[in-house]
Amino acid sequence: MKMRRVKLRVNRSQLLYLSKEKTSENFQKEGMLQVGRKETALAERFCRLRGNLLFILKKQGGELEEVLLLEKCNVMKLSGDGRRLAVSFESGDSTVFLQSSSSAESASWLVALRDANTETLRRRITHLHTLIDSHSQEHTNTTRDSSLENEGSTSGAQSAVEASPLHLAVECRGLVAMAATVQVQVCVTNAHTGRKYCSTQIVKTSEDGEFLTSVCFRGDSPTNHPNRIEVTVYRPEESMTHTTRSFMGFASFSVRDLLRSKEPHISLSLRAMDGVNDIGEVKVSRLQMEEDGGDKAPEHQCPALCDTLHSSVQDKENSPMMRAALCAHICKVYRFQTEDRRWLLVREQMSETPLSFSLPKQLLDMLIQEQTNRVLELKELGDLSPHWDGLRHDVINHCNHLIGCYEETLAELNKLSASSCFKSSSTKSDRHLQFVPTNLHSQRMEVTSPNSTGVWYEVITFGAPADHHHAFKHGGLKRLLSKHLHRRNSSVSYTRDESCRARELLASMAQLQPLIFGLAEELLSVSLELNAARLQEVLDNLKLQTELFVHALKDELVKNALLAIHDQVASRCNSSHVHSNGLLCETSSDGQDGLPSLRLQDHGRRHTEYDEDEWDMVWINVAKSLNCIIAMVDRLQGRERSLSKSSSPGESRGEATPLNTVSPSSFSASWQEQLLPLVVTLRDCVREAVTKARAAMTFVVLQGAVTATVAQGSAQMVQRRHAVFSQALPAVVCGFMLKLYGGLEDPDFLQQLPTVGILAQFEGLLSTYGDEVGMLEDMEVGVADLSRVAFTVTQARTEQPDDLLPTLSGAWGSFIVEVPLPLATFSSLPQELKDGCLIRVEPVLFNIGINQHQSLAERFGDSSLQERVNHQSCERLKAYCNTLRDTLPHMAGIQSLADLLSSLDRSVESRKRKNVELLWIAAMVCRKVNGVRLTSCKSAKDRTAMSVTLEQCAILRERHSLGQQHFSTALDCMRRSRLSWGQMLGCYAHSGFTVSGLGPDQGPSGLQSSWLPQSLAPKAPRRHLYPVAFLLVTSHLLVVWLILSLVILLAKYQ
């Protein structure tokens, strides 16, 4: 097969398939032609034109000989013979000659080949645009006067449409009997463009044709009066591929027609493809809540724009704070009936957040700076003995490895677009996205009923914080840390504050020792002078600096460090260790403690207990040496005064006078000789104290660095912990921001924040089988690390979104998240919050596995990890609630916590399999105490969507009187919307199934309802993927099999 030389990748098999397709309707033209590269040598060939491809076959249905790409070419009729055409190419390829059987056939081929060129098609489209523009201008001029006349009657409606979202309800009639399933797609079209906004859920023939999913146009949508809304109806059961769909009918109307209609709804005829035949009817209505005093049934209520929903959306959704916290919104609106047959309007919104990337970047910056500062501090310690220098080398290598990894990760994140705010589940193992949470979304539901206006419920969903890049071959963080603690040598550890105090003492000693030595030398020099006042001045300065020195040495940290050094030396006797620099350090019984100039003073005391009073004697000796100098100076000055009185009794002056003695030089020399031994003793005592204190504080700084780095595990383990924490942090911060924005008018909530903090309740749906055990172990440690995070509220510089994003400060183990608020909002806060009071986080994790792997774990595996996590979290939750009840006893709903906590305790202690009731109770407690709700599974897709939709429908039933008969319908409707959302946001990319191809009785491939709890299971289960014989093996049959096998073995060998 020959093809024209073009820089285009083609698939030979696809071209062959297209050329031999039997359906002639897919080709613009086909027939026999004489074809050749030379005008005098033409051969008869069968030609088929499809799009811009001309297939040339040796005969009809025969072998494909050549394919012409009709781009950048010129098709013309040859002069002299009306049957001949020539196709010339701009690329320089040889001209192709075509000859038909007649002039009429040649003209038909000429038109078809020219229309196949994209340039010709583009010119025709441009011409059509010109005609449409001219027609639209004429229509606008014709209707301008009538629009001005009716401006007073329609201005309110128009402003409502332009300023507020437009919510429409769709109802099909006459179609349900014709098709098994029906789905409606809504588009907004203007002069040139059309945009799909929403698709409803699927209805069956057994239902009444009314779609619970409404169509929501946001305030920034182009729903102006001249625009038209197009409604298209499809049969979705035939849309198993993305290329074909079964079209049924369409209808269109303008926004002006809907707003000017006397009735709040319009009925439209659905037309077939020919635009003539009517196949049914679609009814489009504007939504509102019914009036409280009406007794009419919901279907007879007069719908209009829902003002309460509009006001909440306009005031809260478009506020600068919400725009900074959330982005990429997807919204759906539902109508459900309550028990008293009234309408319940539910608005569901899923949003991404820029915190997914901004906070991990800040965290990486701070970790890099922290590790860099630690390296500089260790290098400033100066020369150390081989053992401690090797330990310092280990820490520096550990820090440098982390710095290199984090700098590389941060550089890759900075390369991403500034608008990036989402990490899909397909990239959860990406090395450079290791610190970014997976599928982080805010799931918000607003409920508007006749008795309430705009009540919001939030749940943060994200993939379980876990290190998928390093995988789970050796378990998760909890197991790795436990193994490391067992292998770790028992050594003293120091906190960050103690290390800081040690560095301050080192700096203080480095400053005070030269001052004391200098003043001591100056004191000896002044003693040679004959000026008593100058001598007293120097002595006072020496006394002041020495007292400061002694006060610094009296710190208990020095004494404890010296004791720790003694204990460590005793434990390391006759041991060896190889450091990262290759140095082998051996500790013999000589008692070298590893730090310079500090040895055990007595070989016989090497194996005895350390005398804690030894250090006290060191700084006491410094004080006593100073006192001796002061006493000597006083005695010498007294002797001088007595000699002066005896020699000159009448010359008594109040000012300083020269020392008049018989031999002044011998007198001053006598002073210096008497002060010199005391000054030498002082310097020796100070030097000894500095040596021991410097060794002790160096030990504290070095051990503090070891505690923060090497003692935490390998560099990979520390990086894993940082990554897991980085994934959990944005989710908690996003939830706190939404909770803060929603509770600005709640005084109890604002008082709760500084007193007891904010509760973060994590709901895990991970199984205790396979890799998900490691994920749960990672998540447990990551959630626990959040307890060392605190929030503080600050005033934003401006109301720009960048200035309203939270910022991170502090260091690992004591991070502070600053949440800025606009000036007006910040001014309304209580004074305690405005003063920067810290708001601590109390995280709890409750996990219940709900998939098929959890069934295997409960029958043949071990679920003790899940039981331990739930028990510990239950204790922490009860402690938090008790503190809240004692602090704010008059808080709304606080007294009902006792019953819920008792139920939670019983549920934790029970051995019920897949006890999802535990999760429901924990969620109820969290909402009672204004906590942040977070839900996670492996990737925050299937199981998370099941849990969130069930919780939302339960809230509608318990708090907003959703009719019990409509509960299942509402649950199914919301879950199918989640599937379409996941497809739109790429959550299900590369997951192995196509969401748009799911039928009305199908669910995602990962959700086998036979394994799910009944409340979480879809309506109709799919066929599971496990062999039936394996699933029939129960624990009882396994025991019987083991007994029979044992009996057979005993009988065989007897």
What residues are annotated to the active site? Answer: 937
Tell me how far apart the alpha carbons of residues 608 and 477 are, in angstroms, rounded to a whole number: 40
Tell me how far apart the alpha carbons of residues 937 and 946 are, in angstroms, rounded to a whole number: 11
* CA 1044 to chain centroid: 53
Short-list 723, 119, 223, 808, CA closest to 471: 723
Tell me how far apart the alpha carbons of residues 964 and 341 are, in angstroms, rounded to a whole number: 12
Short-list 608, 605, 565, CA closest to 587: 565
Q: Are 323 and 202 in contact (CB under 8 A)?
A: no
Q: Which residue has the tokens 């199934």?
A: 993
Short-list 233, 364, 268, CA closest to 730: 364
Q: Would you put residue 757 in left (φ > 0), alpha (ψ -120 to 50) or beta?
A: left
Which residue stretches of 554-663 are H helix? 556-571, 613-647
Q: Are 1013 and 851 in contact (CB under 8 A)?
A: no
284 contact partners, CB below 8 Å, separation of at least 6: 168, 169, 170, 171, 229, 231, 253, 258, 265, 266, 268
Q: Are 736 and 758 in contact (CB under 8 A)?
A: yes
Burial of 757 from C-beta contacts in 10 A (0-12 / 13-18 / 19+):
buried
Tell me how far apart the alpha carbons of residues 164 and 154 are, in angstroms, rounded to a whole number: 15
The tokens of 151 are what?
Answer: 């401006």
Q: Are 227 and 255 in contact (CB under 8 A)?
A: yes
Tell me how far apart the alpha carbons of residues 204 and 212 are, in angstroms, rounded to a whole number: 13
Sheet hosting strand 41-50, strand order edge to edge: 2-3, 64-69, 53-57, 41-50, 29-38, 96-99, 84-89, 73-77
Short-list 929, 928, 876, 863, CA closest to 905: 876
State the pairing for strand pair 815-821/789-795. parallel
Short-list 1013, 946, 1015, CA closest to 978: 946
Residues β-bridged to residue 64: 57
Question: C-alpha distances in angstroms, 706 versus 392, 556, 710, 857, 1009?
Answer: 8, 21, 5, 39, 50
Q: How many residues does the chain have?
A: 1054
Q: Are 594 and 388 in contact (CB under 8 A)?
A: yes
Tell me how far apart the alpha carbons of residues 814 and 143 are, in angstroms, rounded to a whole number: 66
Question: C-alpha distances in angstroms, 421 versus 299, 324, 352, 822?
Answer: 42, 12, 7, 23
Q: Which residue has the tokens 């009517």?
A: 278
Short-list 312, 253, 261, CA closest to 281: 253
Number of CB atoms found within 10 A of residue 720's CB: 24
Short-list 157, 287, 158, 164, CA closest to 218: 164
Number of CB atoms found within 10 A of residue 593's CB: 21
Question: C-alpha distances in angstroms, 1049 versus 682, 1044, 1045, 1052?
Answer: 88, 9, 6, 5
Helix axes 916-928, 897-909, angle to 10 degrees: 160
